Structure 1
Amino acid sequence: MTAFSALFVALVALTLIMQQWLGRRQISHVLSHRNSVPAAFTRNISLESHQKAADYSIAKTRLGLKESAASAAVLLLLTLGGGLQLIDSTWHAWVSGHAMLTGILVIATAVLVTSLVDLPFDYYKTFTIDERFGFNKMTPTMFFQDLLKNALVGLVMGLPLLLAALWLMQSSGSYWWLWLWCVWAVFNLLVLAIYPTLIAPMFNKFSPLTDAALKTRIEALLAKCGFKSQGLFVMDGSRRTSHGNAYFTGFGANKRVVFFDTLLERLDGDEIEAVLAHELGHFKRRHVIKRIVMMFAVSFAGLALLGWLKETDWFYSGLGVATPSDHMALLLLLLTSPVLTFLLRPLFAAYARSNEFEADEYAARHSSARHLVEALVKLYRDNASTLTPDPLHSAFYDSHPPASIRVAHLERLAAA
């Protein structure tokens, strides 16, 4: 085992130990607070609802512990266990002389293997955990249809990107990574632009909002906030789940506001307006653009690093690959990046939570902090979101502030 192999094993072990430790902290913390509703929520959330949320959170966390262990085992088997080298050697023998085709087949096979490992966990969560707690509305047929659609979308959109990447790595010299980063950036902007009208309708039905009074109210808020969109749409989220949500999607002139039908059923007009004001806060504070810039910066650094690693023998041999190649360099980066960046998760999560606070402040100024609190409490209750997450687990995994902290912040805004 090389020094880099030992470092990689240590990072995988550290990541797995951290994931298991954080998960067990979460379970213990939620269990210890299961039998009492936090004081801020006693008027609106019953003990039964609070306990349901605790049990739902614990069930998902326990499944996550198993999934993280399985993912770590598969990663080690593919790398140091020789799995990637076996896949590469097999395809190379079958399509010898066609480097780009070999690369595509090797990457596709590795992606298929990791997807098949994730599949039982996704299925169990949907048809055992979500079913038990009353959230799942999907059938097995719908589940596998979505799986097939996702695979087709990934193939249609991912194959040209992969071909471009392999061609650039072969043909554009030592700065191939910079050209690839440019292609990657354009590709992501294109996906943002076409997602609302071409991709999302493949999975859900989007209908114009027909409630005249609510539409008038929302359009007035949009005008006040200076937000122009293609329209207000209701998504048939209830076909798959009873969870509720709202969001705006798209990029540039292709933006649209989307409400889950389940959300409209649960909230009144004041609460819907407050939720939308929060979403508009993300737009007005340029959170989407800032996240795109951050994503581009991270991908730039990652590809620049790969541009250097690609030329070193120890990078391949240290990860169980005997035959260096362009496609193997890309694949190794994709597989190992979650481990290499795990300890940075609190930084990204903290930034995401700061965006949520800013959006809440915007909603408090342009709508009502109290109505947003009422809406959030209903969503916490109906979505069985735990009110008592472990602070350290939350710091790693939660993009939104814990319920008690967020509500307290909004109540201070309302008082002010």
Structure 2
Amino acid sequence: MTSFETVFILVVYGIAFFELFLLSLNFRNAKLSKVSLPDNLRDVFSDDLIEKSVEYSRAKSLFVIVSSVVNLVALSIGIFWGFGVIESLSMKLAEGFALRGLIFFSLIASIYFFISLPFSIYSTFVLENRYGFNRTTPKTFVSDKIKEILLAAGIGLPLVYLALLAIDSFEYWWVYLLIGVVGFEILTQLIFPTVILPLFYKLKPLEDENLAKRIREIADKAGFGVKSILVMDASRKTGHTNAFFTGIGRAKRIVLYDSLLEKHSSEEIEAIFAHEAGHFKRKHILKGMLISNAVAIFAVVLLWMMVESDTVAGIFGVSEKYAILLYAGIFLSSIFTVLDWIDSFISRKWEFEADSYAAMITGDTQPMIRALKNLSVSNLSNLSPHPLYAALYYSHPPSWERIEKLNGIVSNIDERKSRG
């Protein structure tokens, strides 16, 4: 075993076991005895709801632990044996680097799909169903999976093939790979709201003209010119609620879950949308894209350096460049887990800023506070996440922290008023 293979094992398994440790901390912390319900949620969480929330949090945590262990075992089999076997098979099945590489990655993706499928079925029809969130029928589930496979084949396979051609043809192939990554991101933003999303959900214009008018006014104030406000039939598949911006240029859309309209008042929906508009106004979306592209540049350059390095060549017995690419990707993805933790911290900061913007643009904090309370109840939020787990993985602060900040905004406003 080479020195790099030793480093590879230490990094990949060190990060993996640390993540499992954090998951176990979060699982153990989600206990009824450890719930100290914040004062600002006492009016919406009954004892029965608290107990149900704790049970759901523990069930989800245990599910993630089990699925993570299975994925780690499958990855280990691949690292020490399976990827080498698949490399040999790809070399027997085809001629030419790009075609062999395409077969290599297609076989690995297919194996991963079948490993993850039982977990997807369990999550949808057992876990989510047990707590009243699942509304997906087996027919819809199968249909969606077939569509996902066809999309992956129709879009993913040509892109992977072109990337492999670039790797085989150019010394500085990272430049072409990076162009492909950025181009794919732009393409996704263009076709997701107009082509991909309608494949999985029915979309129709928001019928409440008064609410649509108020949402457009908020969008205009935020500088987010939008073509249409759409309602998505998400309640056909899930009991969870959401609202989001999507698309760029003429493909911009505002999408609301129909369940959001069912469970929240117009004022609350306004506040939720104002929060999303706050992300746009505070340039969080632009900053996020810049950070994402900077990380992509860094990652692709590192990937190129590793693949072309004599140190990595022949890692774990594989010889083809596309197989070495996979090992380098696994190694870098483990290291970049640290960047995910930093991203979670930045994201939580941005959530507070978006809440503040929503309070400012609507002129009232109470609709957003009511929306956060209702979202906590309807989604059975974890009332006792482990602090370290939350610090590293939560992209959104717990609802009670956001409510506390919003109440602070009210206090500051009242204080300024009292000073004249």
For normalisation by structure 1, the TM-score amounts to 0.94
1:67 corresponds to which letter in structure 2?
Answer: S
**What percentage of residue pairs aligned between the two structures are identical?**
33
Corresponding residue of 1:92? 91
Q: For residue 151 of structure 2, what is the aligned residue in structure 1?
A: 153
1:335 aligns with 2:292: no
Q: How far is the alpha carbon of 1:32 from its aligned partner?
A: 5.0
Aligned-pair CA distance for 1:34: 5.5
Contact 2:241 2:257 in 1 (8 A): yes
Pairwise CA distance, 1:398: 1.1
Per the alignment, in what secondary structure is the counterpart of residue 59 of structure 1?
Answer: helix
SS at structure 2 position matched to 1:315:
coil
Question: Are 2:208 and 1:204 equivalent residues in the alignment?
Answer: no
Shift in Å, 1:170? 1.8
SS of equivalent to 1:259: strand
* Structure 2 partner of 1:51: 51
The offset of 1:85, in angstroms, is 1.2
Residue identity in the other structure for 2:343: F
CA-CA distance at 1:73 after TM superposition: 1.5
Aligned to 1:226: 223
The alpha carbon displacement at 1:316 in A equals 4.0
Find the aligned partners of 1:76 and 1:27 in 2 and give their Cα distance. 24
**1:123-142 superposed matches below 5 A:** 123-142=121-140
Residue 418 (structure 2) aligns with: none
Alignment of 1:167-182 (within 5 A): 167-173=165-171, 175-182=172-179
Work out the CA distance in 2 between the residues paired with 1:235 and 1:322.
Answer: 47
Aligned 1:264-303 pairs, distance under 5 A: 264-303=261-300
The match for 1:83 is 82
Q: 1:321 to 1:114 in 2, by over 3 A?
A: farther
Is contact 1:34–1:54 with CA below 8 Å preserved after alignment?
Answer: no
Instruction: Classify the secondary structure of the residue corresponding to 2:308.
Output: coil
Q: Could you tell me how far apart the structure 2 residues matched to 1:112 and 1:373 are?
A: 45
- 400, 403, 416: which is aligned to 2:399? 403
Q: Distance in 2 between matches of 1:252 and 1:263?
A: 26
- TM-superposition CA deviations, 1:376-403 (whole Å, max 9, x none): 1101100111132111111222110122
Gaps of 5+ in 1: none
Q: Tell me if structure 2 keeps the 8 A contact 1:137–1:242.
A: yes
Report if aligned partners of 1:271, 1:374 keep a CA contact under 8 Å in 2: yes
Q: Distance in 2 between matches of 1:187 and 1:35?
A: 44
Q: Which moved more, 1:178-187 or 1:334-343?
A: 334-343
Residues 1:350 and 2:345 aligned together: yes
What SS does the corresponding residue of 2:135 show, helix, strand or coil? coil
What is the distance in 1 between the residues matched to 2:390 and 2:44?
A: 23
Match of 1:9 in 2: 9
CA contact (8 A) 2:87 2:318 kept: no
The Cα shift of 1:220 comes to: 2.6
SS where residue 349 of structure 1 aligns? helix
Counterpart-to-counterpart distance in 1, 2:33 and 2:292: 37
Amino acid at match of 1:20: L
C-alpha contact 1:138 1:240 (8 A) present in aligned 2: yes
2:245 counterpart SS class:
strand
**CA shift in 2, pair 1:333/1:157, >3 Å:** farther
User: Counterparts of 1:151 and 1:183 in 2: how far apart (Å)?
Assistant: 21
| Correspondence 1:213 to 2:210 | yes
Asked if 1 retains the 8 angstrom alpha-carbon contact of 2:307 and 2:328, the reply is no
The DSSP-based 3-state class of the residue aligned with 1:69 is: helix
Q: Which amino acid aligns with 1:349?
A: S
- Partners of 2:202 and 2:233 within 8 A in 1: yes
The C-alpha deviation readout for 1:190-211, integer Å capped at 9, x for no partner, is 1111110011101101110001
Distance 2:332 2:61 in 1: 22
Q: Distance in 2 between matches of 1:34 and 1:242?
A: 27
Task: Kindly indicate whether the alpha-carbon contact (under 8 Å) linking 2:268 and 2:367 is maintained by their aligned counterparts in 1.
Answer: yes
**Is residue 107 of structure 2 the alignment partner of residue 109 of structure 1?**
yes
Offset, 1:99: 2.1
CA deviations on 1:215-256 (whole Å, 9 max, x unpaired) are 222223223333211111100000110111111111123211
| Other-structure match for 1:366 | 361
Q: Provide closer, same or farther for how the CA distance between residues 224 and 216 of structure 1 changes in structure 2, counting only shifts above 3 A.
A: same
Summarize deviations over 1:270-304 as a string: whole Å, max 9, x none.
Answer: 11110000000111112222211111111111111
Q: Secondary structure at the match of 1:314?
A: coil
CA contact (8 A) 2:303 2:329 kept: no
The residue aligned with 1:30 is 30
**Kept after mapping to 1: 8 A contact 2:90/2:100:** yes
- The AA in structure 2 aligned to 1:152 is L
CA 1:328 to 1:120, structure 2 compared with 1: closer, same or farther past 3 Å?
Answer: same
Q: Which amino acid aligns with 2:289?
A: I
Alignment partner of 2:402: what SS? Answer: helix
- SS across alignment from 2:278: helix
CA distance in 1, matches of 2:213, 2:33: 43
Q: State the distance in 1 between where 2:408 and 2:41 align.
A: 16
In structure 2, how many angstroms separate the alpha carbons of the residues matched to 1:265 and 1:33?
Answer: 33
Q: Is the 8 A contact 2:97 2:164 kept in 1?
A: no
Residue 115 of structure 1: how far off its partner (Å): 2.2
**Offset at 1:268?**
0.6
Which residue, 390, 398, 413 being the options, matches 2:409? 413
1:385 aligns with 2:381: yes
Report the more deviating stretch, 42-51 or 131-140.
Answer: 42-51
Alignment match, 2:39 = 39
SS of aligned partner of 1:395: helix
Q: Give the number of aligned pairs.
A: 411
Q: Which runs of 5+ in 2 are unaligned?
A: 413-420
Letter of the 2:285 partner, please give it. V
Q: Provide the secondary structure at the position in 2 that maps to 1:387.
A: coil
- Determine whether 1:245 maps to 2:242: yes
The residue type paired with residue 296 of structure 2 is: S
Q: Secondary structure at the match of 1:241?
A: coil
Worse overlay, 127-136 or 153-162: 153-162
Aligned with residue 319 of structure 2, among 320, 323, 327? 323
